[in-house]
Structure 1
Amino acid sequence: MSFEGKTAWITGASSGIGAALAREWASRGARIILSGRDEERLAQVAADISTETLVLPFDVRDEAAMRAATDKAIGWHRGVDIFVANAGVSQRSAALETEMNVYREIIDIDLTAQIAATQALLPHLVERGSGHLLFISSIAGKVGVPMRTAYCAAKFGLIGYADALRAELSQQGVSVHVVCPGSVATDVSRNALTADGSKRGRSDKVIDNGIAPAEAAQRIIDAVAAGQREIVVAEGMEQAMGEMRRTPDQLLDQVAGMVAAGYMEKMKAEA
């Protein structure tokens, strides 16, 4: 699959996997839309990219700002071909010690805001009858990991939304990809929320020794080009866990077959 002349819109694009995806897609000829909260850091990423870029800063929790950004993204060139729901925050705290506001904040950022952004863009993609939606979940979206109960809840939920959406769009020409990274060398642990909602401020050794973001981006985009629906980007034990909990392609095909056979129309008729 060629990405030449396509437009890729990436949230959480100021650093880490998001910034690496922007650079890699640009190297393959795609135009890039960069979104995140920090306009200055987004501009720095844009300066590293040789293809045309558009910087649309906003907080994913601000739905009005998100919808305004969506309108601008759709109006840029011929619209959006690829959307990456990558914005997110992790967690490092035991459930017994974690305040409820931390659960609400992580689920709002990592799940609800990602759904809202996708829902805003969805009519555009369906009208065009083409496009790719990428949801950056985690190995922690497949396997419950201690000290990450809120994060796991959000990332498990994101996969559930994506899987159901994929089935619904299977006759519409829009592809849905779930990405489950393991440890990637980013600031995810340093920026993780603790029990009271404050930032942790330090990284984990396993994260620091993880896959380089540029390599992770290459793997992800190669898998999208190959048509993979569930993309595990991990090594060692994390890869084994992700592969063990991978949803079989036959099951994804079976659910898509239900849609092709008129399941949704029958459900609507019975409502």
Structure 2
Amino acid sequence: MKFDEAFSLRGEIALITGGGTGIGLAMARAMHGAGAKVVLVGRREAELQAAVASLGGGAHAFTHDVTDFAGAAGLVERVTRDVGPVTCLVNNAGIHLKKPAVDTTPEEFQAVLNTHVVGAHALTRAVAPGMMARGHGSILFTGSMASIFGIPLVIAYTAAKSAMVGLVKGYSTELAGHGVRVNCIAPGWIATEMSRRALDGDPARKAKIFGRTPMGDMGEPEDIGWAAVYLASPAAKFVTGVTLPVDGGVSVGF
């Protein structure tokens, strides 16, 4: 296999949840650049359309709330009809909750799990049968450092991202024999608009993050995008069930 073929996504159709902004859009941009058609999924129509316009031809938008579990199959059917069969699913949509663990209500805890875990499972089980029938597919999850080490004030998020790693392990063993690979990317601290807003007002937290990151800086959204391209590409055809930290060394640093 030639180099340009190994990392090409030509002929692939990638459905990316939470694809309108931030890391989701960065993954969409990288996959689109590698030759894939990309389908951006989210709740906000205007945001999605702006993202599609920035990407150009081969990009599509579908509004859907991942917590509409019963609607997952219908979304996949619409995408298949209007764009083509989904060959790569990126479970990226998520919500955040910053709150002390003892103050986090069961209802709040469940809401975070519903988005990150149950919503991802609903979409995965909706696309998997088609991938299995075709003998080809890649499913990616956006994980977190919170599944690798403890981070205070995000107990529901930590539980959700840890459960996501379990989904990756379980799905990868069930689907590997059908030509479908399942992997996870665990971003470190990435310089998105959201993270910039949070850290610009909290210099102590910013210093702590930089201090424990061996590379001494935050990553860029495109760092996650290109990792997603690799894991979805033929170059990673023998890679499944892994969680890949893209974190500047923070998960192994001191």
Q: TM-score range by the shorter chain?
A: 0.7 to 0.9
Q: Which of 191, 212, 223 is the aligned partner of 1:215? A: 223
State the alpha-carbon separation in 1 of the partners of residues 57 and 31 from structure 2: 9
* 227-236 or 120-129: bigger deviation: 227-236
Native 8 Å contact 1:89 1:191 kept in 2: no
Over 3 Å counting, the alpha-carbon distance change for 1:187 and 1:117 in structure 2 is farther
Q: Are residues 1:234 and 2:247 paired?
A: yes
Q: Offset of 1:134 from its aligned partner?
A: 0.3
TM-score normalised to structure 2 length: 0.83
State the alpha-carbon separation in 1 of the partners of residues 220 and 245 from structure 2: 15
Identify the residue that residue 152 of structure 2 maps to in structure 1: 146
State the alpha-carbon separation in 2 of the partners of residues 61 and 191 from structure 1: 27
State the alpha-carbon separation in 2 of the partners of residues 191 and 114 from structure 1: 27
Q: How many pairs align?
A: 231
Amino acid at match of 2:69: E
Over 3 Å counting, the alpha-carbon distance change for 1:15 and 1:60 in structure 2 is same
Identify the residue that residue 16 of structure 2 maps to in structure 1: 10
Over 3 Å counting, the alpha-carbon distance change for 1:156 and 1:191 in structure 2 is farther
Q: Offset of 1:137 from its aligned partner?
A: 1.1
Q: Offset of 1:14 from its aligned partner?
A: 1.1
- For structure 1, the residue ranges without an aligned partner over 5 or more in a row are 193-201, 245-271
Matches within 5 A, 1:111-190: 111-187=117-193
Amino acid at match of 2:224: A
Superposed CA offset, 1:137-161 (max 9, x none): 1111222321111111111111101
Q: Are residues 1:23 and 2:22 paired?
A: no
Q: Which of 100, 105, 108 is the aligned partner of 2:106? A: 100
Native 8 Å contact 2:40 2:60 kept in 1: yes
State the alpha-carbon separation in 1 of the partners of residues 156 and 197 from structure 2: 15
- For structure 2, the residue ranges without an aligned partner over 5 or more in a row are 1-5, 211-216
Q: CA RMSD in A?
A: 2.4
Over 3 Å counting, the alpha-carbon distance change for 1:5 and 1:45 in structure 2 is same
Over 3 Å counting, the alpha-carbon distance change for 1:191 and 1:82 in structure 2 is farther
Native 8 Å contact 1:43 1:55 kept in 2: yes
Q: Offset of 1:75 from its aligned partner?
A: 2.4
**Alignment identity in percent?**
29
* 155-164 or 97-106: bigger deviation: 97-106
State the alpha-carbon separation in 2 of the partners of residues 172 and 33 from structure 1: 24
Matched residue of 2:226: which SS? helix
Native 8 Å contact 1:12 1:88 kept in 2: yes
Superposed CA offset, 1:23-68 (max 9, x none): 1111111111110011111111101113312211111111233322
Q: Offset of 1:216 from its aligned partner?
A: 2.2
* 106-115 or 178-187: bigger deviation: 178-187
Superposed CA offset, 1:85-142 (max 9, x none): 0000122211122222210110111111111111111111111110100011111122
State the alpha-carbon separation in 2 of the partners of residues 18 and 78 from structure 1: 20
State the alpha-carbon separation in 2 of the partners of residues 137 and 13 from structure 1: 15
Superposed CA offset, 1:218-251 (max 9, x none): 2332344332442211014x2316xx9xxxxxxx
Superposed CA offset, 1:175-215 (max 9, x none): 111111111122556999xxxxxxxxx786359x6211122
Native 8 Å contact 2:223 2:246 kept in 1: no
